[in-house]
């Protein structure tokens, strides 16, 4: 009975541990914003973004990931013409820290020559810091702003195993915030610093809708466990 139990554990537990491995890598791409100044156009005024990734692969289908991304955001009323009389314009930066779960549609192993590609989904929770400046009504004066908050990140991507050591991934993800101030615009004109109250109570932004921001780009990761003996053996089995 004892021998049967040992054999069962070896069959089900040991292969599972072989498939667990870690990756670290870098991210580069673009970031953009959707909100009062740009209600719905994707990739409008896309700015550079970069970051770092740590991924822990639970098996060939599931992974946990921590990412730290930083990107620039911008919006200009002249490009959208949603409310041209407002003449709002902003530019700023957002730093995003995300804890994510990933699901691979196909079996995947960074370093394998058999399970080399898979589309995947991701989602989780994030916390972000943002800052910038904005202008309204002819841009006579710039106003600075900053803040932070939680967001819900989600998105899609594709992973590809480049070699025994490296993996490449393309992804596009959104962050749904719980506030309407990524662009810095207050709810009414009389909330503007130094306002003369000539437009007291007149709506400046729609506070009933929250802002979004997005990252899209490529990441290159290194399999940290590829040099361990048991992982190398597992990799050889996957190549057969």
**Burial degree of 23 (CB within 10 A; 0-12, 13-18, 19+):** buried
CA distance 5 to 25: 40
133-187: per-residue pLDDT in tens?
Answer: 988 865 567 889 999 999 999 999 999 999 989 999 999 999 999 999 999 888 7
Tokens of 69: 């991304």
Q: How far, in Å, are 31, 52, 89 from residue 221 at the CA level?
A: 20, 9, 37
Q: How far, in Å, are 28, 42, 65, 110, 127 from residue 100 at the CA level?
A: 18, 23, 5, 18, 12
Question: What pTM was estimated for this model as a whole?
Answer: 0.84
Q: What pLDDT, on the 0 to 100 scale, is given for residue 102?
A: 98
* Largest separation between any pair of C-alpha atoms in the chain: 87
Q: What pLDDT, on the 0 to 100 scale, is given for residue 4?
A: 43
Where the chain has pLDDT below 50, the residues are 4-18, 229, 231, 236-240
Domains parsed from the chain with CATH numbers: 35-239 (2.40.160)
Counting every residue, how long is the chain?
240
Q: How far, in Å, are 25, 65, 220 from residue 165 at the CA level?
A: 11, 18, 10
Angle among Cα 213, 215, 218 to the nearest 5 degrees reads 180
Give the side-chain half-sphere CA count within 13 A for 148.
Answer: 7
CA distance 51 to 215: 10
């Amino acid at each position: 009975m004892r021998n049967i139990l040992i054999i069962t554990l070896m069959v089900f537990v040991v292969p599972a541990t072989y498939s667990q491995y870690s990756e670290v890598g870098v991210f580069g791409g673009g970031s953009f914003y959707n909100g009062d100044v740009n209600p719905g156009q994707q990739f409008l005024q896309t700015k550079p973004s970069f970051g770092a990734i740590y991924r822990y692969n639970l098996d060939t289908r599931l992974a946990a990931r921590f990412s730290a991304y930083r990107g620039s955001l911008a919006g200009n009323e002249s490009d959208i013409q949603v409310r041209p009389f407002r003449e709002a314009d902003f530019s700023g930066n957002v730093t995003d820290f995300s804890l994510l779960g990933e699901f691979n549609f196909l079996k995947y192993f960074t370093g394998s020559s058999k399970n080399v590609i898979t589309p995947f989904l991701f989602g989780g929770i994030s916390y972000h810091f943002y800052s910038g400046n904005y202008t309204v009504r002819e841009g006579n004066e710039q106003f600075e702003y900053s803040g932070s908050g939680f967001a819900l990140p989600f998105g899609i991507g594709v992973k590809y195993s480049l070699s025994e050591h490296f993996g490449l991934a393309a992804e596009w993800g959104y962050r749904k915030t719980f506030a309407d101030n990524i662009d810095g615009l207050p709810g009414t004109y009389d909330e503007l610093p130094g306002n003369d109250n000539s437009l007291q109570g007149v709506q400046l932004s729609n506070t009933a809708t929250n802002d979004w921001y997005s990252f899209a780009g490529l990441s290159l990761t290194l399999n940290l466990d590829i040099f361990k003996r048991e992982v190398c053996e597992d990799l050889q089995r996957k190549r057969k």
